């Protein structure tokens, strides 16, 4: 195996039922339940193990009315990963569902965009409406890691290891980054919230939580440009992800799936 080809997994940890109209700016005409799934992602290969996002814990699930289906630590352990051995965590953005479980990775350095930390600690947080997807304790925990020399800042496009690059997309959150991973099936884009559902990037629609609509729409073009095909784009919250991809191993069906193999058509 060459030194830049990695395995990639989606680890589902929570669930939230919601009406379809809540998933789109300007709503949706379908009177149906269109739930969100919550994931962290794992990249393993010649450069080690990279965990992408850290999810939230049970206390946050209760506060926000979400349901934990398997705590993040257990999902990682089912892949044979001990959280306290992880050395690199990539945080796509600082919304509560991507950066909780602050103490789960005591040895890790955290990779994040300059713009995201500036956004989450700056004047925009004076506005209650913009604060909604942020948690004060999450942001403070990240600032403490800055002072503990545990944060590596990135600006725009950046390589964290051969075959793993970060790409600032913005839009949904000002410093949102997606992760491009070279795999045996080509370049996979872990979109995170650059596209919550398949429908967002496929149909050019926008999730209601948005800092800049233009950047969201441009972001879909960036995802398509950086992925080897649309089937290489993995949205951040679509429950269909665990149906399209095979279980990482027997018994993990619809919980932990492999993203470095081709999805079902």
Q: 68: which residues sit within 8 A by CB, 6+ positions away? A: 13, 14, 57, 58, 61
Tell the smallest beta-carbon distance from residue 253 to Zn ion (Å): 23
Q: Are 156 and 177 in contact (CB under 8 A)?
A: no
Q: 72: which residues sit within 8 A by CB, 6+ positions away? A: 11, 13, 40, 54, 55, 57, 83, 101, 104
CB atoms within 10 A of CB 186: 14
Q: Are 194 and 219 in contact (CB under 8 A)?
A: yes
- Choose between 81 and 176: whose C-beta lies nearer to Zn ion: 176
- Look up tokens 């441009």; give the residue: 218
CB atoms within 10 A of CB 251: 9
Tell the smallest beta-carbon distance from residue 86 to Zn ion (Å): 20
- Choose between 169 and 248: whose C-beta lies nearer to Zn ion: 169
Tell the smallest beta-carbon distance from residue 201 to Zn ion (Å): 15
Tell the smallest beta-carbon distance from residue 208 to Zn ion (Å): 11
- Choose between 59 and 148: whose C-beta lies nearer to Zn ion: 59
- Choose between 19 and 262: whose C-beta lies nearer to Zn ion: 19
Tell the smallest beta-carbon distance from residue 202 to Zn ion (Å): 18
Residues that bind Zn ion (CB under 5 A): 95, 97, 193
- Choose between 161 and 217: whose C-beta lies nearer to Zn ion: 217
């Amino acid at each position: 195996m060459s030194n830049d080809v990695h395995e990639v997994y989606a680890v589902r940890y929570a669930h939230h039922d919601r009406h379809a109209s809540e998933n789109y700016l300007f709503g949706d005409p379908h009177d149906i339940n269109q739930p969100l799934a919550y994931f962290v992602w794992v990249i393993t290969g010649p450069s080690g193990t990279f965990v992408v996002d850290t999810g939230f814990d049970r206390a946050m699930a209760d506060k926000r009315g979400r349901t934990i289906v398997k705590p993040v630590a257990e999902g990682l352990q089912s892949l044979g990963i001990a959280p306290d051995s992880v050395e690199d965590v990539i945080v796509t953005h600082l919304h509560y569902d991507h950066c909780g479980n602050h103490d789960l990775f005591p040895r890790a350095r955290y990779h994040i965009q300059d713009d995201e930390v500036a956004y989450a600690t700056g004047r925009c947080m004076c506005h209650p409406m913009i604060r909604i997807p942020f948690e004060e304790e999450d942001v403070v925990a990240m600032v403490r890691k800055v002072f503990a020399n545990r944060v590596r800042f990135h600006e725009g496009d950046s390589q964290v290891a051969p075959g793993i690059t970060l790409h600032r997309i913005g839009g949904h959150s000002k410093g949102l980054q997606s992760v491009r991973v070279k795999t045996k099936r080509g370049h996979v884009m872990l979109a995170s919230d650059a596209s919550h559902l398949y429908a967002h990037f496929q149909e050019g629609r926008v999730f209601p939580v948005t800092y800049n609509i233009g950047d969201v729409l441009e972001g879909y073009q960036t995802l398509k440009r950086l992925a080897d095909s649309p089937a290489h784009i993995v949205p951040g919250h679509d429950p269909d992800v665990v149906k399209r991809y095979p279980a990482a191993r027997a018994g993990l069906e619809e919980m932990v799936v492999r993203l470095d193999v081709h999805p079902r058509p």
